[in-house]
Homo-oligomer: A and B are copies of this chain.
């Protein structure tokens, strides 16, 4: 590409592991993105709990990373910091082209993410989500707000980070009828099940996952299957064309399992996984999340303890599967960036 790179302004809501990881990639690969994609990404606003920073000419990403890794509030940064800056104010003052939403998941009302994403789309900005709350709770509304020629909405990171469930489902299965979608979409519970398979009891396996930074202090969302159910509901909307919410998913978690329960299927050449399943049923799909034995040769039986996976079965005699090894949050950050690049590629005219 010999022409000038096009400049795109990014506003980042949420600067935790995933949002901070996006800054890391922009810092490390900014020049590469110009060379490989002809795109210069500048961060014109960041908001986290308690404040943020704004510079429509582009914030110093190295300075943001230094502050974040030192635990300093971005609102206190000299010149650019603003204490108490909300994500929506940040978005409005950042003059951004694309919102990146990576604030913590809330499955009650999806806030603050939902309001920020809605505001972005209504004011003509594209939105990329890692936070699954808004799409799990308000898929229809957000999809309607992003219908062409409106701004674009991307959320591939919300369904198992870098695992390409949504993108493969939309792009690579297009034209087929998906008869069955299977997934291991919650990394924490998968890792716990594999530890229990080695003999750990549930409580020890959870403790170990917490020590490794995989499980949260309160692991309920993961081990009770609700996180997996959200991801399945998002995939059902985005890939299977089924209007549904997490409430349409029959959910059973892994909390009550003993190590013996997990090991029992091994005797018949099977492995127990927390299976997310969408099974064609007349005109729609039955959605469920439940501990389920799968045969040894099944793609989801082959997963590494830190791996998530998805399998698409279609009417065209195909079984296409994917797996993603995700020991940390970095792949989810990379998934946000791929969505940004997809938006840029899908735009007829660049904004600058």
Whether A318 pairs with B346 at a CB distance below 8 angstroms is no
Please determine whether B324 and A319 come into contact, CB atoms closer than 8 angstroms. Answer: yes
- One complex includes copies of this chain to the number of 2
**Chain B proximity mask over A333-352: 1 for CB below 8 Å, otherwise 0:** 11101101110001010000
A78 at the binding interface (Cβ < 8 Å): no
> CB-CB contacts of A295-328 with B at 8 A, as 1s and 0s?
0010100101000000000111111111111111
A99 CB–B CB distance under 8 Å = no
Contact between chains at B318 and A334 (CB < 8 Å): yes
Contact yes or no, A342 B171, CB < 8 A: yes
Which residues of B lie under 8 Å from residue A323 when comparing CB positions? 299, 320-322
Q: How far is the CA of A172 from the CA of B331 in the complex (A)?
A: 11
A167 within 8 A of B: yes
Contacts of A36 in B (CB 8 A): 241
18 pairs from A and B in contact (CB 8 Å cutoff)? A25-B175, A25-B316, A29-B175, A164-B168, A168-B168, A172-B338, A173-B338, A174-B341, A174-B342, A175-B337, A175-B340, A176-B338, A297-B304, A316-B334, A318-B326, A320-B325, A321-B324, A346-B346
Roughly how many angstroms separate A164 CA and B341 CA in the complex, as a whole number? 18
B residues within 8 A CB of A174?
37, 337-338, 341-342
> Nearest chain B CB to A91's CB is how many angstroms away?
22
Name the interface size band of chain A. Answer: 35 or more
Contact B342 A164 (CB under 8 A): no
List A residues at the B interface (Cβ < 8 Å). 25, 28-29, 32-33, 36-37, 156, 162-164, 167-168, 171-177, 241, 297, 299, 302, 304, 314-328, 330-331, 333-335, 337-338, 340-342, 346, 348
A25 to B328 CA separation, bound complex (whole angstroms): 41
The residue of chain B having its C-beta at the shortest distance from the C-beta of A307 within the complex is B319
A319 to chain B, nearest CB (A): 4
Contact check, A316 vs B333: say whether CB atoms are below 8 A apart: yes
A140-B256 Cα distance, complex, nearest whole Å: 58
Please tell me if the beta carbons of B320 and A164 are within 8 angstroms of each other in the complex: yes
A331 to B335: give the CA distance in the assembly, Å: 27
Give the Cβ gap from A177 to chain B, nearest Cβ, in Å. Answer: 7
Known: A162-B172, A299-B302, A317-B328. 14 other contacts (CB 8 A): A25-B175, A33-B175, A162-B316, A162-B320, A164-B320, A167-B171, A171-B342, A172-B338, A174-B338, A175-B334, A175-B338, A316-B330, A320-B324, A321-B322
Distance (whole angstroms) from the CB of A300 to the closest CB of chain B: 11
Contact indicator B331/A317 (Cβ below 8 Å):
yes
Cα–Cα distance between A325 and B297 once the two chains are bound (Å): 12
Across-interface contacts of A297 in B (CB, < 8 A): 304
